[in-house]
Amino acid sequence: MPELPEVETIRRGLEKRIVGKTIADIDVRFPKTFVGSKSKVEGSKIKSVERRAKVLAVKLNNGGNLLFHLKMTGQLIYIDRNDKRFAGGHPDHNWHAKLPNSTTAVIFNFNDGTHLFFNDMRKFGWCKVLTDEQLNKIFTDEYGPEPFDKNFTVEYLMQRAAKIPNRKIKQFLTDQTIIAGIGNIYADELLFDARISPLRKVSEMNKSEWKKVIASTIKILNLAIKHGGTTDSDFVNADGEKGGMQDYLKVYRKSGSNCPGDCGGKVIRITVGGRGTHYCPVCQQ
DNA sequence: CTATCTGTTCTGAC
DNA sequence: TGTCAGAACAGATA
């Protein structure tokens, strides 16, 4: 489920809460969700929580790492000794309910009596135990530049686009090997912001349009991070503090409504690369 | 009831 | 090699 802004929001929340803690033991409820040996993790201390693309890496003081991908329905829920919770990921009501529940895949028990629950209804998500070397290789080989990285340039995008000229821009932008962290929601939103049709072939983009794509990507992702991501996918305590980006979405899941750009058109929904895609065919060309 | 949707990504067929 | 359907799975929605 979560894209870059949501994963970043979860990262920041977890960082504040679990860095410095020692993992006493791990309870694996869904074996397919936990890949690797838990004995390589138990007893080690958490050094940092990092993000690359849509994955979270928990770095340990013994040279090991826990790499998480929440996919569509994963949740991470931290619970302190007073049952105060911080949760991120797929929004549903069992955040506030008793844990573990039927969707709980893995439980990390810390030696101070606090816990981290990894829930996943559809079981697409995973947590892998990796060495530093394995982690670095995945981060280097499997993902393109982060949108906030200096290597995310017009020259880079044009060079990648030249090899796949017929690819539609929406599919291009959501390809993690090209750019890290953009998913369905933010691809639609940034293309609206740039006023470019999701159906445009990358070979038919000019330099100033690529510039607009970069500017809109950074603008939209920053806005989403500022608001804590889309949906009520994150909260810090029982009182709320939920993600608020859903109030700022302009086209995603808005089919039928008037174009927010006041061009007189209406937002429609089509399918691009098998994904629901929302845009205004009048002002996005 | 059926059909179709869902924020992800990987695999295998053509 | 590029493109597409389908799979992994469990719901919610119309």
Question: Is A3 in the active site?
Answer: yes
* The pLDDT value given to residue A108: 96
Give A236-269 pLDDT, tens digit per residue: 554 445 677 777 888 988 888 899 999 999 998 8
Backbone angles phi, psi at A237, to 5 degrees: -155, 180
Rg (CA), chain A: 20
Where would I find the beta strands (DSSP E) of chain A? 23-28, 34-35, 46-52, 55-60, 64-69, 74-79, 85-89, 104-110, 115-120, 126-131, 234-235, 268-272, 275-279
d(CA A218, CA A249): 15
Token pair recorded at residue A210: 């690529």
The answer to whether A142 CB is within 7 Å of strand B is yes
d(CA A22, CA A41): 10
The answer to whether A228 CB is within 7 Å of strand B is no
For strand B, the positions having any atom within 7 A of a protein Cβ are 5-10
Task: Print pLDDT tens along chain A (285 aa).
Answer: 588 998 998 899 899 999 999 999 999 999 999 999 999 999 999 999 999 999 999 999 999 999 999 998 888 999 999 988 888 887 776 677 788 988 899 999 999 999 999 999 889 999 999 999 999 999 998 899 999 999 999 999 999 999 899 899 999 999 999 999 999 999 999 999 999 999 999 999 999 999 999 999 999 999 999 888 876 555 555 444 567 777 788 898 888 889 999 999 999 888 898 888 999 999 999
Which domains, and CATH codes, for chain A? 4-141 (3.20.190.10), 154-279 (1.10.8.50)
3-state secondary structure of A214: helix
Q: How far is CA A137 from CA A61, A208, A238, in A?
A: 19, 34, 39
Residue closest to C9 C1′ by Cα: A122
The answer to whether A227 CB is within 7 Å of strand B is no
